[in-house]
Amino acid sequence: MWQAEHVRAQLSLLYPTCDIRILGMTTRGDQILDRALSKVGGKGLFVKELEVAMAEGRADLAVHSLKDVPMDLPEGFELAAVLEREDPRDAFVSNDYASLADLPAGAVVGTSSLRRQALIAARYPQLVIKPLRGNLDTRLGKLDRGDYAAIILAAAGLKRLGLPERIRAVLDPADSLPAAGQGAMAIEILSGRSDVDMRAVLAPLNHEATARAVTAERKVSKVFGGSCQIPLAAFATLTGDQMTLRAMVGTPDGKRFATAAASGPADAPERLGQQVADLLQGQDAHDILAECKAQADAADA
């Protein structure tokens, strides 16, 4: 809702005579809270209902966290704008400890993200990772109740909701490489409407540097099937007209990783994404993916 309000405010400034209303919606991703997203089957868990609303003419655009948007949208939909990125990093949140390194052996860390789980297990094998789902308030509530010694959240969500003081430490991307698209919002529309050029309407909201970075990141994710079922990270940074992209795939237990990085012209983000994905494939990414599947099957059994 914060994100929708943010877009509405920007559009109101651009188009003061336009009446912009928010149609609040709940998605399957919001409703199913007893399972990790990696275990809830299907793609687009946070976007499908919004697409249905657009297809039925009840909404003209949908505001998403880009991290939750599938790499391939259903036929007839497209992303019209990517907004300037908020902090892309993961945040360490705790009432008692200052950082992951501070936690005693056996301390319980909350996250339902396979990526965060793998990264923590690799660096801090003495910690215990337990699932944590729900919106931000729910997750913070569970921490405050004492269910966890610490939890890991996206810094972007905490900052947007005015809770930056809950961040005890931001995780350095070198230790905890962000998910593709983390911290960025995207606006989705129906393609090819004849009555109004929505792309042109929304173009002023597009942030070109962010759009390029996330295009490279999402390309890596796409090559690996673009799902929440494997620990995958991809993070691009821009310096002038050059882009550097780093990515990793690993196993949920944190025992195996493939990592890769490359730089290239910022105006060819897909090529850079493919290049980094190829570098990952050149390592034992294939084996790692097979092992992810084995670990998921074992966890389900």
Ligand X SMILES: NCc1[nH]cc(CCC(=O)O)c1CC(=O)O
CB-nearer residue toward ligand X: 46 or 92: 46
CB-nearer residue toward ligand X: 117 or 182: 182
Percent helix, percent strand, percent coil in the chain, to nearest 5: 40, 20, 40
CB 131 within 8 A of CB 164: no
Q: How far is the CB of 241 from ligand X (least distance, A)?
A: 26
Q: How far is the CB of 29 from ligand X (least distance, A)?
A: 6
CB 59 within 8 A of CB 53: yes
CB-nearer residue toward ligand X: 93 or 279: 93
CB-nearer residue toward ligand X: 60 or 86: 86
Q: How far is the CB of 154 from ligand X (least distance, A)?
A: 3
CB-nearer residue toward ligand X: 224 or 235: 235
Report the 10 Å Cβ neighbour count for 144: 11
Distance, CA of 204 to CA of 104 (rounded, Å): 49
Q: How far is the CB of 246 from ligand X (least distance, A)?
A: 17
Rounded to a whole number, what is the distance in angstroms from the first to the last CA of the chain?
37
Q: How many residues does the chain have?
A: 301
Rounded to 10 degrees, what is the CA torsion of 82, 213, 173, 122? 100
Interstrand relation of 128-130 and 185-190 (parallel, antiparallel or unpaired): unpaired
Catalytic residue among 34, 60, 68, 297: 68
**Interacting residues toward ligand X by CB under 6 A:** 46, 65, 67-68, 153-154, 156-157, 182-183
CA atoms within 13 A on the CB side of 296: 19
The secondary element (H helix, E strand) that includes residue 288 is: helix 285-300
CB-nearer residue toward ligand X: 136 or 262: 136
The token pair at 218 is: 């999402």
Distance, CA of 214 to CA of 273 (rounded, Å): 10
Residue type at position 272: L
Q: How far is the CB of 290 from ligand X (least distance, A)?
A: 26
The secondary element (H helix, E strand) that includes residue 255 is: none
Please tell me whether residue 140 adopts helix, strand or coil conformation.
helix
Q: Is position 68 annotated as part of the catalytic site?
A: yes
Q: How far is the CB of 1 from ligand X (least distance, A)?
A: 13
Nearest to 189 by CA among 181, 178, 180, 197: 197
Catalytic residues: 68
